[in-house]
Amino acid sequence: MLSFDIAIIGAGPAGCAAALTLAQSNCRVALFEKETFPRPKICGDGVCDRSVNTLRAISQEYYDEFMQFAEKQTMSSTTFVYKNNRSVLNLKNFGYVCKREFFDNFLFSLVQRNSQNVEVFQQTPVQYFDKLSNQEKTEQGFILHDAQGNTYKTYLLIVANGAKSNIAQQLTGEKYSEKENGVAIRAYYEGVSGCDAQSIELHYKKEYFPGYLWIFPMANGICNVGFGGAIEKLKTQPENIQAIMQQWISGDEELKKRFANARIISPIQGGLVPYNNNVFNCSGEGFMICGDAASLIDPISGGGIGNAMLSGRLAALQAVDCVQTQDFSAQKTKLYEEALKKRIQREIKNRLRIQRAIIRFPFLLNVLSFVSKNQKIFNRIARWYN
């Protein structure tokens, strides 16, 4: 049976950020991924500044490589649309749009190239685990079981295998709840007119908030177009989520014109959006949970890559300390949770306040739409949001 100091489950942005951080250590690391790279990933494809700043914190070389990465499109602003009123917020820090298939493979290729202490297992989903423990603490850690019946031993788990993670649920005892989740769909279009090549578009309606319809321009005249929202709210609508998106496009006069000559070039696909509701139950004896598995998605924007990569890096830094001290206690791994909260809890609280206020008083969208016509006031509100 292969034995490791640390096992990372999931090789998305959180798992790869953890693996790349651990490449700078002497730890024996396993990285398990259920699929084979490159693989498609359903997403809005927005890569925020926190994502690239985390990459730079891991290695300036990796950041420089991403800056040269041909598959990304630079975004310098966000355009908010409500009742045909358009408000443009210039971004203090640039973001990017890049197909997740390409971005995730870029990160994974860095792991394969530079993480000599990381053993990678593709097409190896971890199905379940056995906890090792005795009163003397001479046996601690986990035995992992993959789909082929192979077993692996590890002292510490970093769980980063996405929304509705069965491993995370087993570790924390928390069950999946629709109330805390959203759902989103997206498709790729070509020929959408009227796009600013350096601005992402977010379209809002009262009945779907905090959900929205998005149009993200990409290279070669392609757009990522999608719609998402809270499951509980969408369940009250008479149409299903695909019908909502299609009717929004065809029923809005401006969008109807812009999509008149557009052609959908991919299937419409969807996935879960595990919003963060200011609950951070993501550590315990021998484990830390990152990214979507820890429900770290922004409760307004629906973005998750930045928090995923940040959490992966923070978990890896704490994992090194755990291995060096041979202390895998809940108190020790809790330091990861506290570091994560220190970085993102304040912004999560602010955004939850905004989300809940608008849900309770939908007329606030009208107010925001009105004041956004004054760029100074709009920028002040945006600074508070951030």
User: Torsions phi, psi of 295, nearest 5?
Assistant: 55, 65
Distance CA 358, CA 131 (A): 44
Q: Which residues of 249-273 are buried (b: 16+ CB within 10 A; e: fewer)?
A: beebeebeebbeebeeeeebebbbb
Residue type, 127: Q
Residues whose CB is less than 8 angstroms from the CB of residue 119 and which lie 6 or more positions away in sequence, other chains included: 2, 4, 28, 29, 30, 31
- Residue 345 has what pLDDT? 94
- Residue 258 has what pLDDT? 97
By C-alpha distance, which of 63, 61, 59 is closest to 20? 59
Q: What angle do CA 12, 15, 16 make, to 5 degrees?
A: 80
Question: In what helix (H) or strand (E) does residue 189 lie, and over which residues does it extend?
Answer: strand 182-190
Question: In what helix (H) or strand (E) does residue 346 lie, and over which residues does it extend?
Answer: helix 330-360
Count, residues in the chain = 386
- Residue 377 has what pLDDT? 58
User: Torsions phi, psi of 209, nearest 5?
Assistant: -60, 140
Distance CA 347, CA 103 (A): 25
- Residue 238 has what pLDDT? 87
Domains of the chain with bracketed CATH: 2-42+97-176+274-352 (3.50.50.60), 179-269 (3.30.9.100)
Alpha carbons within 13 angstroms on the beta-carbon side of residue 198 total: 8
- Residue 369 has what pLDDT? 67
- 10-residue mean pLDDT profile of the chain (386 residues): values are 96 98 95 96 92 96 94 90 84 84 97 95 95 67 94 97 94 86 95 94 91 93 95 89 95 95 96 90 96 93 94 98 96 97 93 84 74 60 54
Question: In what helix (H) or strand (E) does residue 385 lie, and over which residues does it extend?
Answer: helix 375-385
Q: pTM above 0.85? A: yes
